[in-house]
Amino acid sequence: MVNTLYLPELREMLAENNAAELREFSTALHAARTAEFMEGLTPAEAWGVLAHADPETRAEIFGYFDRDKQIEIVENSDRADIAQLIINLPNDDRVDILRDVNPEIVQDLLPHLPLSDRRDILRLQSYPEGTAGSVMTTAYARIPEGYTVRQALEELGRQAENIETIYYVFVVDDREHLRGLVTARQLVSAIGKPNTKIDDIMERDLVTVRADEDREKVAQEVARFDLHAIPVVDDDHHMVGIITHDDVIDVLREEASEDVYRMAAMEPLVENYLEAAFHSIWWKRAFWLSWLFLAEMLTLFVMKGFVHSIDKVVALAFFVPLCIATGGMSGTQAATLITRAMALGHIQLSDWVRVIRHELAIGIALGFSLGAMGFVGAYLATDHATLGGAAAWKFSLVIAQAVMAICLWGTLVGSMLPLAFRRFGVDPAYASSPFVATFVDVTGILILFSLAEIYLF
Amino acid sequence: MVNTLYLPELREMLAENNAAELREFSTALHAARTAEFMEGLTPAEAWGVLAHADPETRAEIFGYFDRDKQIEIVENSDRADIAQLIINLPNDDRVDILRDVNPEIVQDLLPHLPLSDRRDILRLQSYPEGTAGSVMTTAYARIPEGYTVRQALEELGRQAENIETIYYVFVVDDREHLRGLVTARQLVSAIGKPNTKIDDIMERDLVTVRADEDREKVAQEVARFDLHAIPVVDDDHHMVGIITHDDVIDVLREEASEDVYRMAAMEPLVENYLEAAFHSIWWKRAFWLSWLFLAEMLTLFVMKGFVHSIDKVVALAFFVPLCIATGGMSGTQAATLITRAMALGHIQLSDWVRVIRHELAIGIALGFSLGAMGFVGAYLATDHATLGGAAAWKFSLVIAQAVMAICLWGTLVGSMLPLAFRRFGVDPAYASSPFVATFVDVTGILILFSLAEIYLF
């Protein structure tokens, strides 16, 4: 939903190039809100408005534009201006943006940047998407060992301008090894005793991550230890950057979406649903849907294989949807439960035996309840005129057994598939309802008709 | 997975009541890690270890125990000691814990607490679960209007001990109205000019939430504005508390789990999968499964209603699983996409027309691709000896049409159900794959056989 409240005024200010009012507009509100009011503007217009804001505010507001608008502005505006903008963007965000910009344009831009920023961008770009390195920033507060509280506070005052957060101050030795952490809270509390040595109050047992670790692991650590930011180190414990809580929140939201989409057997949608391009949504859904459809065709041939049973007792065919739905639903529950438990770090691969035992018990319990219902349903549905009472009983028992067996089977398959996927390095979320359902549909029909052939003919 | 690394040593220290080593153990590591090493201990043992830590450390470690252990300790230990513990717990956490403690014991405990803490607990307890009030803390940094940077820093130093975060300092007037916010970063940057007036540097346009708003909304705001904490106000803009980023991270994780579970048609699992009680898991799964199973029984009677068509062309029965699976899969995709888009705030109810247009187009596109595959499959599967070539063509066309229609139908139902649920105040996540699938299974069979009757007989 685009916020159009200020659009007319904005366009008017632009038309008459009213510098004063445009500057006023760009500073009056929180940058995120200002960006929201500019949603309706074209990238060119938006950039025109930002031209009147001071560089810091400009970068701040720009940071809240949606990605497409950012890209278009970067690619189509004066290189020098963009370079200025990039200098003022947070180190991690600007790398994310440049990732999506036409590489040739990035090459044009880099020379306009100070050497330090250029180096920083190239280094951060070297970390693959999804790793801790790809979401970290190199702009963190650092002080050498041996400082006092007063020195630290003064140094922090100097750095405050250019760093992402001042709340964690990292103590590094002369070779950039991470030695400890002192929080702004500790510094402020010690303001009364300015000569306290940092080394005496700093935290030495730090939770750290390596730059090549999965960003999901980072999120888990930060959530578990309630951290404001987590330091990123290389193999020799050199400090290379930090990941702050706001980046972790973004990671958690993205990862949650990814899992949910994959559980529905579609490729994750990165953009806003209503703004996503038709072909992109179509492809993300059609791809898996087609494969699943092909797999599901197996049911066709299985059914065909049992045509003689259907000819004998056509009623069997009536129960196919019920039976395969039972497997699909129980499988979906199990798969979801296990996938989520893994995502939250509650179960590891090594727990698979406990999981099987667990799901075996649950599957049997669920199977009995559904089987009982199935029996009643079958008994009511079979027409006793043609089949006769005894046969109806026997038939209903077969259905009940089939429902029970398929429910248990679905539960076991659903609980083991995610673990198997993880074991082979595939995202467990892919072991989702449609996959489990498709697999269980085919096998479910086999179970139903096999039981029928054993007991009925 | 319980970490048993230190268990023997810990038990030994407890046995010989080795105060020195136990104190050492409780302070050597990050509290979260210490708690992890104590997972294997009984609540009594764990409390015995904590007895040797200073009150602050004790509360910190206690805060990382799992809920059951916390409850058991609170309910079975000396009231005075527990009161001491409660005083040192973060205001929001202690209320969460007391919510689960036997109310009589809470009544016994309250008299042991200082009046201020007692009042605070009772006030926070009055906010219903799931609201902003239920996750906020009242321990925030506040200064009156008119302070200078020096005064603010000194005041902050005094408050630092007892507040959740010093990074946002809230400026309130003499009647506790929220006037503005100054960050520790601003204060530290201004350390050089200690006489700067706070009123001149503070942020006045603040993002706030009301205590009765949904905690999910809070998480969205914090994520959108990259806040470190968000102030909670009442209707008269009195400041009543703050919600910090670590609480938001917990909310995001819980909400994500809730949605995922509901999408699999089961009640959210709050506890750890491997630790959850069997009956609780069984019930959370059996409840919905049984209802869905009953609903799915409709397929049985629908199939029965078309027995004459099956008698005429038994091959129709072969295609039932394929057709209903098509509806289920396409419906699941649509439902998930819309549910997630709503959770992320990308779609509002008012967008329903755009969503329908969108899904209509997608549904037709997907329907064509699957329909084509369905045609080929049907043509290969029908045995041309009994039904001649022409009939086989006709039959395959009917199947193709059915697949196409059911795919479109599933897509539309899947996309509209979540919106309908939201409209009637039900969590859209319930409009999940199993629900959509069950609904589409029944209707899908109707579509298949109706088309068959129109074209084949």
Q: What is the pLDDT of residues B37-72, one digit of tens each?
A: 888 889 999 999 999 999 989 999 999 998 889 999
Q: Which residues in A lie closer than 8 A to residue B226 (C-beta atoms)? A: 32, 246
Spatial CA neighbour of A431 closest among A421, A440, A442 = A421
Residue type, A102: N
Say which of B154, B248, B317 has its CB closest to residue A310. Answer: B317
Percent above pLDDT 70 for chain A:
97
Strand (E) or helix (H) holding A181: strand A178-183
pLDDT of the residue at B289 = 85
Chain A contact for B228 (CB, 8 A cutoff)? yes
CB contact under 8 A, B260 and A292: no
Q: DSSP state, A143?
A: E
pLDDT of the residue at A178 = 95
pLDDT of the residue at A386 = 64
In whole angstroms, what is the distance from residue B445 CA to residue A321 CA? 9
Res. A292 pLDDT band, cuts 50 70 90: confident
pLDDT of the residue at A323 = 93
Pairing of strands A141-144, A168-172: parallel
Task: Return the residue of A nearest to B167 by Cα.
Answer: A167
For residue A2, pLDDT over 80 is answered with no
Give Cα A419 to chain centroid, integer Å.
19
What contacts A457, CB < 8 A, 6 or more positions away? A309, A312
pLDDT of the residue at B241 = 92
In whole angstroms, what is the distance from residue B161 CA to residue A191 CA? 13
| Segment A420-424 mean pLDDT | 89
Spatial CA neighbour of B442 closest among B418, B401, B410 = B410
In whole angstroms, what is the distance from residue B403 CA to residue B378 CA? 11
Helix or strand or coil: residue A40? coil
Asked if residues A394 and A315 have their Cβ atoms less than 8 Å apart, the reply is no
For residue B1, pLDDT over 60 is answered with no
pLDDT of the residue at A402 = 95
pTM for the whole thing? 0.76
Q: Tens of pLDDT along B180-211?
A: 999 988 898 888 888 999 999 999 889 999 99
For residue B2, pLDDT over 70 is answered with no
For residue B129, pLDDT over 60 is answered with yes
Pairing of strands B239-244, B229-233: antiparallel
Q: What is the mean pLDDT of chain A?
A: 88
CB contact under 8 A, B274 and A351: yes
How many CB atoms sit inside 10 A of residue A131's CB? Answer: 19
Asked if residues B418 and B342 have their Cβ atoms less than 8 Å apart, the reply is yes
Residues in a beta bridge with B177: B238
Minimum distance, in Å, between the CA of residue B42 and any CA atom of chain A: 20
Task: Return the residue of A nearest to B222 by Cα.
Answer: A246
- Which residues of B, range 389-408, sit inside 8 Å of A by Cβ? none
Residue with tokens 């698979």: A352
For residue B303, pLDDT over 60 is answered with yes
Handedness of CA B29, B35, B41, B43 (dihedral sign): positive
pLDDT of the residue at A270 = 67
Report residue B277: phi and psi, to 5°.
Answer: -70, 145
How many CB atoms sit inside 10 A of residue A51's CB? Answer: 16
Burial of B84 (0-12, 13-18, 19+ CB in 10 A): middle
Residue type, A128: P
For residue A433, pLDDT over 80 is answered with no
pLDDT of the residue at B231 = 95
CB contact under 8 A, B373 and A290: yes
- Treating both helix axes as pointing N-terminal to C-terminal, what angle do B320-343 and A320-343 enclose, rounded to 10 degrees? 30
- Which residues of A, range 138-177, sit inside 8 Å of B by Cβ? 153-154, 156-157, 160-161, 165-167
Q: Lowest mean pLDDT: which of A134-138, A228-232, B387-391?
A: B387-391
| Segment B296-325 mean pLDDT | 89
What contacts A136, CB < 8 A, 6 or more positions away? A92, A124, A127, A211, A232, A240, A241, A242, A243, A247
Helix or strand or coil: residue B77? coil
Say which of B336, B347, B445 has its CB closest to residue A260. Answer: B336
CB contact under 8 A, B265 and A161: no
Strand (E) or helix (H) holding B74: helix B67-76
Q: Tens of pLDDT along B405-440?
A: 999 999 999 999 999 988 888 888 877 677 888 889
Res. A147 pLDDT band, cuts 50 70 90: very high
Give the max Cα distance, chain B.
98
Handedness of CA B159, B160, B163, B169 (dihedral sign): positive
Tokens of A260: 């949910």
Spatial CA neighbour of B334 closest among A276, A266, A339 = A266
Tokens of B72: 């058991």
Asked if residues A314 and B438 have their Cβ atoms less than 8 Å apart, the reply is no
Pairing of strands B229-233, A178-183: unpaired
CA-CA-CA-CA dihedral for B435, B439, B440, B445, to nearest 10: 140
Where helices occur in A272-345 by DSSP H, the ranges are 278-305, 307-312, 315-318, 320-343
pLDDT of the residue at B209 = 93
Q: Which residues in A lie closer than 8 A to residue B299 (C-beta atoms)? A: 318, 321-322, 325
Say which of A154, A250, A433 has its CB closest to residue B264. Answer: A433
In whole angstroms, what is the distance from residue B260 CA to residue B268 CA? 8
pLDDT of the residue at B72 = 92
Q: Tens of pLDDT along A86-139?
A: 999 988 888 889 888 888 998 889 889 988 888 888 888 888 888 999 889 888
Helix or strand or coil: residue A242? strand
CA-CA-CA-CA dihedral for B244, B247, B253, B256, to nearest 10: -70
How many CB atoms sit inside 10 A of residue B432's CB? Answer: 33
Pairing of strands B141-144, B168-172: parallel
Say which of A314, A321, A361 has its CB closest to residue B320. Answer: A321
Q: Tens of pLDDT along A370-394?
A: 999 999 988 888 776 666 667 888 8
Burial of A277 (0-12, 13-18, 19+ CB in 10 A): exposed
pLDDT of the residue at A266 = 77
What is the spatial order of strands in the sheet that A168-172 belongs to? Answer: A141-144, A168-172, A178-183
Measured between its terminal Cα atoms, the distance across chain A in Å is: 63
Give Cα A131 to chain centroid, integer Å.
13
Say which of A290, A324, A362 has its CB closest to residue B281. Answer: A362
Percent above pLDDT 90 for chain A:
35
Does ipTM come in above 0.85?
no
Residue with tokens 């994750």: A268
Minimum distance, in Å, between the CA of residue B117 and any CA atom of chain A: 23
pLDDT of the residue at A259 = 80
pLDDT of the residue at A404 = 96
pLDDT of the residue at B385 = 61
- Which residues of B, range 236-295, sit inside 8 Å of A by Cβ? 245-246, 248-250, 252-253, 256-257, 259-261, 263-266, 269, 272-274, 278, 281-282, 285-286, 289-290, 292-294
For residue A1, pLDDT over 60 is answered with no
Residue with tokens 């045509």: A307
| Segment B226-238 mean pLDDT | 91
pLDDT of the residue at B387 = 65
Asked if residues A438 and A295 have their Cβ atoms less than 8 Å apart, the reply is yes
Which residue ranges form the domains of chain A, and what is each CATH number?
7-131 (1.25.60.10), 141-244 (3.10.580.10), 297-456 (1.10.357.20)
User: What are the b/e assignments for B325-358, b being 16+ CB within 10 Å?
Assistant: bbbbbbbbbbbbbbbbbbbbebbeeebbeebeeb
Where helices occur in B344-388 by DSSP H, the ranges are 352-381
Helix or strand or coil: residue B266? coil
Q: Tens of pLDDT along A179-190?
A: 999 998 889 888
Residue with tokens 């949910």: A260
Q: What count of residues does chain B have?
A: 457
